[in-house]
Amino acid sequence: MSEQWYTGVVTKIVNETHNTRRYWIRVPEKAAFEFKPGQFVTLDLPIHEKKNKRWRSYSIASHPNGSPEIELVIVLLEGGAGTTYLFNEVREGSELLLQGPLGKFTLPEPMEKDLFLICTGTGIAPFRSMVHHLHLHQLPHPNIYLIFGVRYEKDILYKEEMRQLEAEMPGFHYLPTLSREDSGLWTGRKGYVHSVYEELLADRRPANFFLCGWKAMIDEAKQKITAMGYDRHDIHLELYG
């Protein structure tokens, strides 16, 4: 675990949806920013006198590629001091103080059971990193189901990229699921993420669950997965908010 703080420079900002942005941050002190897919960084933002009220943690959305640059995907939280600062004050060229990589939310070794990557909103970030890493290095893996819940089609992050990965990666299944979409144009899954894994695991085969996103979703998923007969040790989580 790295306790050291680094100065990162924002090299690029892209609006991904109406309320999420992608931030590319380069750490000039490092020749390569080494991390394991699924890890996060903590930003120290100038929004409070007290340290612990300035710190905001975000999963790294990019995969390790030997460069000193990482990508974060961040949703604007209404009334959130951290994201308000990032959205209103930070520009390309801005400096951000960051610490990392941190966290143990990483792929199981060995990967023997089917993997269910269940997320909402920007919770897709660590899973994007994991799947790209597996694909890039052609690592053997079991079936992987990325179940991604958002409200509307316009909220889906990395849609084309995930569809392309699904086409290129045997055993990778991309399952975006919309809870409020009613346009009639959406032909994919509707409802909440829970019905998707419950349906896919009707046979109760061995599985590993990774949950990332809002607390309400994670609490409900933990309850439902254990009710299906899985052990709590099969469940790994990263909480947002």
Give the dihedral sign, CA 97/102/135/137.
positive
Euclidean distance between CA atoms 52 and 68, whole angstroms = 26
Euclidean distance between CA atoms 59 and 120, whole angstroms = 13
Which of 142, 228, 221, 174 lies closest to 236 in space, CA to CA? 221
Count of CA atoms in the C-beta half-sphere (13 A) of 1: 7
Label residue 174 by pLDDT band (50, 70, 90).
very high
In this prediction, residue 241 carries a pLDDT of 58
Phi-psi region of 203 (alpha: psi -120 to 50; beta: other; left: phi over 0): alpha
| DSSP E strand boundaries for 20-128 | 20-26, 40-44, 55-59, 69-75, 95-102, 114-120
Average pLDDT over residues 102-126: 96
- Over residues 177-204, the pLDDT tens digits come to 999 998 888 989 999 999 999 999 999 9
Euclidean distance between CA atoms 171 and 235, whole angstroms = 21
Structure pTM? 0.96
- Over residues 25-78, the pLDDT tens digits come to 999 999 999 999 999 999 999 999 998 899 999 999 999 999 999 999 999 999
Catalogue all structural domains in the chain, each as residue range(s) with its CATH number: 5-102 (2.40.30.10), 114-240 (3.40.50.80)
